[in-house]
């Protein structure tokens, strides 16, 4: 379950960003997960729930947005987002396509509470 190591790294980022903003706590985190990232959203959520206890993100909500595959056709330059990998370009029918997205894991948004001082 590599989601635990991902969440450990995520919390380093979250706590660094929260400290930069003088936040007293993190209330919500949104992450974009590509379909080919190898991350299982449910396991990521479980790891996040376990790891947050006693941190600045204790009680925070995690939102996971799953990103579809993103293809570019080398023949016509067309792009397509798909839930499942395709084998031909929808625009021109070429089989000369490349995967250009859907493999990443991105922290999209961090919501924090700060003191009014």
Least confident segment among 77-81, 85-89, 97-101: 85-89
Task: Give the pLDDT confidence score for residue 82 in this predicted structure.
Answer: 66
Confidence of residue 70 (pLDDT cuts 50, 70, 90): confident
Is the pLDDT reported for residue 85 higher than 80? no
Q: String of b and e for 58-71 (b: at least 16 CB within 10 Å)?
A: eebebebeebbbbb
Residue 49 Cα distances to 5, 31, 42, 56, angstroms? 14, 14, 11, 13
Sign for the CA dihedral angle at 26, 37, 94, 74 comes to: positive
| Spatial CA neighbour of 91 closest among 82, 79, 83 | 79
CA neighbor of 39 nearest in space, from 11, 71, 5 = 5
Q: Rounded CA gap, 83 and 81, in Å?
A: 7
Q: What is the pLDDT of residue 110?
A: 97
For the chain, give every domain's residue range.
Answer: 3-68+102-114
Task: Report the CATH architecture of 3-68+102-114.
Answer: 2-Layer Sandwich (3.30)
């Amino acid at each position: 379950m590599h989601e635990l190591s991902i969440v450990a790294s995520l919390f380093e980022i979250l706590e660094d960003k929260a400290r930069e903003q003088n936040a007293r706590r993190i209330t919500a985190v949104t992450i974009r997960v590509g379909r080919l990232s190898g991350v299982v959203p449910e396991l990521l959520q479980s790891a996040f729930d376990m790891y947050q206890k006693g941190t600045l993100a204790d009680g925070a909500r995690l939102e996971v947005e799953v990103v579809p595959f993103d293809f570019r056709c080398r023949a016509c330059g067309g792009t397509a987002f798909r839930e499942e990998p395709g084998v031909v370009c929808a625009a021109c029918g070429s089989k000369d396509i490349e995967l250009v997205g859907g493999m990443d894991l991105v922290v999209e948004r961090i919501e924090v509470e700060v003191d009014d001082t």
